[in-house]
């Protein structure tokens, strides 16, 4: 009898331990599941939120997309419930180009755009006629032009609307050659150009830090505040509102500041205030 008792106790202990572990990581019974499309640069933030959400009865499934695929397309096709990878100006441009109806449901961070170079240590060192690579999608191309204007290298047109293009440059005293490339390729062309303007998330994926940039956005700018977005028909789902509240908590903000060491800036404003972002361009 004693020979069987000890192994039996071990089996019971294993079963109890397994049940205990499952309870610690599983959401409350009856919880909702949300598929969140992100890019790798914010993975740690969403893993943190996933753990918080489970305690609130909300299951989050993280769907991680490479920079070569637009999570907006996955949202339109119904493969995910929300995404969190883009700023509001990019979202509006996507809707306009594709006839889609994706809406922001909450703000998240600003990921400052930066000009990086492997050849020069200062903006002043960039020579006449140098090539500068910029992301080729209109919103980030326009954002790059504003950064070059802030650096005193160019001046945009009086009717600038935030979107980029060669015709959006009014003055270019150094006769810089602006080279539009796929955003995902901006780190790769650094060797072939005087500098490359790189989106923060892509820079982080390439092993670059904001402190490595010759210049970067220094002020909070509404057009470039990142958002959690969903299809308009889903914007009032209660579980999505709970998701936004979890992201916009003080606990999450502190996690972002500590984890990303200034590369990402938590920025929580109302959707009403966000909707006025185009007024920013009128002062340029």
| Confidence band of 209 (pLDDT split at 50, 70, 90) | confident
Res 27: pLDDT: 39
CA 229 to chain centre: 11
Q: Any bridge partners for residue 179, and if so which?
A: 133
Region 108-122: what's the mean pLDDT?
94
Is pLDDT of 30 > 80? no
| pTM for the full predicted model | 0.73
Region 24-35: what's the mean pLDDT?
58
pLDDT tens-digit readout, 51-60: 999 999 999 9
Q: Which contiguous run of DSSP H or E holds residue 73?
A: helix 71-76
Is pLDDT of 9 > 50? no
- Where helices occur in 99-167 by DSSP H, the ranges are 138-150
Give the chain's domains with CATH numbers: 20-111+222-283 (3.40.190.10), 114-216 (3.40.190.10)
Task: Name which residue leads in pLDDT, 44 or 261.
Answer: 44
Name, in order, each residue with C-beta under 8 angstroms of 77's C-beta and a sequence gap of 6 or more: none
pLDDT tens-digit readout, 48-105: 999 999 999 999 999 999 877 899 999 999 999 999 999 998 999 899 999 999 999 9
Q: How many helices (H) and strands (E) does the chain have?
A: 9, 13
Q: Which of 133-142, 247-256, 275-284 has the lowest mean pLDDT?
A: 275-284
Name, in order, each residue with C-beta under 8 angstroms of 235's C-beta and a sequence gap of 6 or more: 103, 105
40-50 as b/e, with b when 16 or more CB fall inside 10 Å? ebbeebbebbb
* Residue 263 token pair: 């590369």
- Taken in order 125, 128, 133, 136, the sign of the CA dihedral is positive
Hunting for tokens 């109302």 — which residue is that?
Answer: 270
Region 32-39: what's the mean pLDDT?
93
| Confidence band of 218 (pLDDT split at 50, 70, 90) | low
How much is the mean pLDDT over the chain? 87
Hunting for tokens 């999505």 — which residue is that?
Answer: 240
Res 220: pLDDT: 54
Res 239: pLDDT: 96
| Confidence band of 29 (pLDDT split at 50, 70, 90) | very low
């Amino acid at each position: 009898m004693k020979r069987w008792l000890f192994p039996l106790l071990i089996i019971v202990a294993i079963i109890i331990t397994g049940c205990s572990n499952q309870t610690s990581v599983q959401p409350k019974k009856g919880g909702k599941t949300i598929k969140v499309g992100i890019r790798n640069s914010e993975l740690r933030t969403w893993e943190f939120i996933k753990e918080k959400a489970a305690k609130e009865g909300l299951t989050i499934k993280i769907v991680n997309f490479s920079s070569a695929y637009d999570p907006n397309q996955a949202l339109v096709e119904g493969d995910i419930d929300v995404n969190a990878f883009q700023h509001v100006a990019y979202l509006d441009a996507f809707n306009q180009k594709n006839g889609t109806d994706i809406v922001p449901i909450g703000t998240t961070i600003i990921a400052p755009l930066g000009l990086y170079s492997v050849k020069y240590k200062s903006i002043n060192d960039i020579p006449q006629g140098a090539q500068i690579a910029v992301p080729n999608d209109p919103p980030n191309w326009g954002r790059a032009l504003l950064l070059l204007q802030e650096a005193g290298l160019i001046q945009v047109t009086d009717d600038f609307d935030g979107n980029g293009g060669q015709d959006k440059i009014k003055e270019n005293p150094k006769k810089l050659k602006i080279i539009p490339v796929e955003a995902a390729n901006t780190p790769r062309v650094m060797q072939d150009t005087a500098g490359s303007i790189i989106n923060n998330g892509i820079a982080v994926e390439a092993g670059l830090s904001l402190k490595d940039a010759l210049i970067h956005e220094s002020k909070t700018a509404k057009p470039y505040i990142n958002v959690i977005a969903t299809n308009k028909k889903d914007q009032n789902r209660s579980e999505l509102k709970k998701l936004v509240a979890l992201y916009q908590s003080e606990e999450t903000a502190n996690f972002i500041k500590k984890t990303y060491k200034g590369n990402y800036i938590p920025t929580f404003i109302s959707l009403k205030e966000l909707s006025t972002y185009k007024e920013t361009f009128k002062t340029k």
